[in-house]
Structures are given as C-alpha cells and as structure tokens.
C-alpha cells in the first residue's frame, strides 16, 4: 500500500508561523506532542507530524524541544566556519544551480592559492577556528593538486598559539574518486560536505542530468566516511515536486548514512537555472526549513547543523531563527568581495557586496541575542557517532 504523500506546494504557511505568545498555554494536541517528544528520539510518524502541523503552539513545542536537546548534547556555543568560495568553475550541470556548466551568463573565476591562504589566515585571526573551501566540481589533475596544495598551505600557515594545528578545514568540492578524497585527507582536510539534495532517487533524477547519478553520490558519502572524514550532507527544502514524505525520508537518510553534520536550506530558484514547477511560498519554505532543523536535532542530538545563508536570504534574521530551532553552526562569508557576486548558486544571496569585516561585524551580538555564544579558536567538531 502506498503512503499518503502531502505535496509541499499545497501547504500554506500563513496560519502556522506566529510564535505562541508566552502567556498562552499550549493546547491539548501540543501537550500530547510535547509528551511524545519527551519520550525520546522521534519515530517517522512523529517526524512527519513535526513537518506537517499548522498549529502555532505545536511548532513552538517542537522548537523548544529542539533547543533543549541542543543545549543538553552540544552546549550553548555556535561553531564558526569561514566560507571561502574559491572557484565557480563547474563541470556539472545541476538543474537548480546558478553556476552550472551551461550558464554562459557568468564570469568564471578561480582564486589563487595566495589569496585563499591569506583569507584563511584572516579567518583564523578573527577566531573562526575552521574554514570551508567550496567550489564547483572539477576532477582534472590540476584541480586535484591545487586543492591539496591549498589545504596543506592553510594548515601550515594558520598555526598559532591558540590553534596549534591551524584552522580546521571542511572541503565542499563535489563528487571525486576515492584516491582524490584520500589525497586531500592526507593533506589535512578532515571534514567534507557533500549534499545529497534529496534522498529520493526519483527526485534526484529530476534535479540532475542523467549522467549525474544518485548511486555515485551515495558511494562518495560512504567512501568519505571510510577514509575518516567527518561527513556532512544535506537537502534542499521546498523544490518543485517534493512532498512532506520525501522530507521525512531525508531525515531518516541523515541518520542511516551516518552524517556528522547537516547543511540544508530552503530552495531558492536561480534565473539562469532550468528547474521549473510550482513552488510553495517563501514563508512555507522558510518554516519547513526551520522544522527540518528541529526534527534533525531531535533525531540526531549530537550532530552539527548549519544555519545556512539560504535562511538569511528568505528572512534577514533567518540564521538566528535557525539557531533557535536547533542549529549550532554558522558559516560567515569570507569570500573576497571582488568575486562573491559570481558565486550565486541561487538569486538574492545576501551580503554579496559587504567586506569580510562587515560580514563578521555584529555576529557576536546577533548570536548573544538568541541566548548563545560564539565558540572561538576551536575546530568545533560534532560528537562522534
Ligand atoms: S550544485 Fe555544485 S556540482 Fe551542481 S552545478 Fe552547482 S556547483 Fe556544480
């Protein structure tokens, strides 16, 4: 018997989103949900309920449970990874992405090693503790050497009394061979972010050209784990054709693949990307993204979860809202401003013209405002799973 599947595009967020005023006691259904969540790790029907409910008091119950779980398992610190988008050259052609190979409207760039390393040094100096090196996907030997050289140089040149091993390095450079992953690990990278974008093979096929295969992406995640990386993955939330059941399956996929960290956000279209179809309204996508964060926290209490820039694109305080729903990682923009506009995976990306100092300014205050503190000068890995 097939399961009922709720298409996200049919959901309207207007009734769901106002936080419950502190004075209003939760209703009977919300109390029942709180009791269910207090019993331990949520099962699939509970996860689906978290995603589907339109009741403001239930959403607040979920948020509070996720925040409690986070504080209990990970503490109140927010871990920082300076984001360095080192190249927008890409050999892949994902249907949703603004820097896909087929987008001829883009000026392509690759930063030099010196600029990458000096940016990473700046990240270390302001206390970020870790960097993410992100780029489009390339597998040629020159690129493989280039990344290995950049990783080695960053680890050597960011050592300091407070970070004797240099900054932690997360790579986010796509599907590669096992040899390449092993070479980059040996050079000093210890985390790898490879988003599945969806755990559904059917939806994966709709999001990618035929030569980009679900099985290959999954194999890469397994290879990365076997090599010893801390592995991150994630999905897009609210893209055309996706249902709440698909999102519930994504949550269970995170558990089953042994993810150490999750980076996910609402789907935001790009004008030069061909993915088409009816979309849920932005408020619905935003709220679903927040509830995906909360559900992930409840399912995998010790994991690292990023409050992504895509959240900030849909709401100026989107990242802070992500923290309130159970996220504990922020990736402040550190890409040199002269290329940042060319790394537009989707339209409306915030802060493209800010200096790196402007991107850092106010971070501490915004994080304090939601009752959390910055973890400075530390790699900030998740608990081992
Ligand atoms: S999502 Fe990544 S791999 Fe796909 S086209 Fe964009 S940059 Fe390339």
Q: Secondary structure of 30-52 in the HEC alphabet?
A: HHHHHHHHHCCCCCHHHHHHHHH
Distance 94 CA to ligand 1 centre (A): 6
Q: What is the pLDDT of residues 263-316, one digit of tens each?
A: 999 999 998 899 988 899 999 999 999 999 999 999 999 999 999 989 998 999
**pLDDT at residue 18, as a whole number:** 43
Q: Which residue puts its alpha carbon closest to atom 5 of ligand 1?
A: 100
**pLDDT at residue 268, as a whole number:** 92
Q: What is the DSSP letter of 359?
A: H
Distance 3 CA to ligand 1 centre (A): 32
- Ligand 1 atom closest to the Cα of residue 345 is 6
Measured in residues, the chain has a length of: 385
Beta strands in 17-109 (DSSP E): 77-80, 82-87
Distance 27 CA to ligand 1 centre (A): 45
Question: Which of 83, 110, 136, 173 for mutating ligand 1's site (highest number of atoms within 8 Å of CB)?
Answer: 136
**pLDDT at residue 383, as a whole number:** 73
**pLDDT at residue 17, as a whole number:** 42
Q: Which residue puts its alpha carbon closest to atom 4 of ligand 1?
A: 94
Dist. CA 375–CA 380, nearest whole Å: 7
**pLDDT at residue 14, as a whole number:** 40
CB atoms within 10 A of CB 115: 15
Question: Which of 85, 96, 100 for mutating ligand 1's site (highest number of atoms within 8 Å of CB)?
Answer: 100
Is residue 270 within 8 A of residue 96, CB to CB? The reply is yes
Helix (H, G, I), strand (E, B) or coil at 90: coil
For residue 384, give every residue at least 6 positions away whose Cβ sits within 8 Å of its Cβ, in sequence order, or none: none
**pLDDT at residue 24, as a whole number:** 59
First to last CA, the chain: 34
**pLDDT at residue 22, as a whole number:** 53
Nearest to 84 by CA among 174, 181, 162, 170: 170
Strand partners, 233: 262
Distance 136 CA to ligand 1 centre (A): 5
Element (H, E) at 232: strand 230-233
Is residue 359 within 8 A of residue 351, CB to CB? The reply is yes
Q: What is the pLDDT along the chain (385 residues), one digit of tens a residue?
A: 445 577 787 765 443 444 444 555 778 999 999 999 999 999 999 999 999 999 999 999 999 999 999 999 999 999 999 999 999 999 999 999 999 999 999 999 999 999 999 999 999 999 999 999 999 999 999 999 999 999 999 999 999 999 999 999 999 999 999 999 999 999 999 999 999 999 999 999 999 999 999 999 999 999 999 999 999 999 999 999 999 999 999 999 999 999 999 999 999 999 889 998 889 999 999 999 999 999 999 999 999 999 998 999 899 999 999 999 999 999 999 999 999 888 887 777 776 667 767 777 778 888 999 999 999 999 999 877 6
């Amino acid at each position: 018997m097939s399961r009922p599947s709720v298409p996200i595009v049919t959901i309207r967020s207007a009734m769901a989103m106002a936080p419950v005023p502190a004075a209003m006691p939760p209703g009977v259904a919300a109390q029942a949900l709180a009791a269910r969540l207090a019993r331990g790790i949520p099962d699939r029907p509970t996860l689906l309920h978290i995603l589907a409910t339109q009741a403001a008091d239930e959403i607040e119950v979920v948020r509070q449970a996720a925040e409690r779980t986070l504080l209990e398992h990970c503490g109140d610190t927010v871990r920082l990874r300076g984001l360095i988008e080192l190249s927008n050259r890409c050999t892949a052609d994902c249907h949703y992405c603004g820097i896909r190979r087929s987008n001829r409207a883009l000026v392509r760039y690759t930063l030099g090693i010196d600029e990458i390393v000096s940016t990473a040094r700046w990240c270390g100096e302001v206390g970020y503790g870790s960097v993410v090196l992100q780029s489009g996907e390339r597998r040629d030997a020159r690129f493989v050497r280039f990344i290995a050289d950049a990783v080695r140089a960053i680890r050597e040149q960011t050592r300091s009394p407070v970070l004797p091993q240099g900054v932690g390095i997360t790579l986010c450079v796509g599907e590669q061979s096992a040899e390449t992953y092993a070479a980059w690990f040996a050079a000093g990278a210890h985390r790898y972010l490879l988003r599945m974008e969806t755990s559904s093979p059917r939806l994966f096929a709709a999001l990618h050209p035929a030569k980009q295969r679900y099985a290959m992406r999954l194999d890469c995640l397994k290879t990365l784990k076997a090599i010893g990386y801390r592995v991150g993955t994630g999905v897009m939330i609210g893209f055309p054709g996706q249902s709440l059941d698909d999102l519930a399956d994504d949550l269970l996929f995170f558990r089953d693949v042994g993810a150490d960290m999750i980076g996910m956000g609402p789907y935001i279209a790009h004008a030069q990307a061909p993915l088409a179809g009816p979309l849920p309204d932005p408020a619905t996508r935003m709220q679903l993204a927040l509830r995906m964060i909360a559900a992930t926290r409840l399912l995998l209490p010790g994991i690292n979860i990023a409050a992504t820039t895509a959240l900030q694109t849909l709401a100026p305080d989107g990242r802070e809202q992500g923290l309130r729903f159970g996220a504990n990682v922020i990736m402040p923009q550190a890409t040199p401003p002269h290329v940042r506009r060319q790394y537009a995976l989707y339209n409306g990306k915030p802060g493209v013209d800010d200096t790196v100092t402007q991107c850092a300014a106010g971070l501490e205050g915004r994080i304090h405002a939601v009752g959390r503190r910055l973890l400075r000068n530390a790699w900030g890995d998740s608990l081992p799973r």
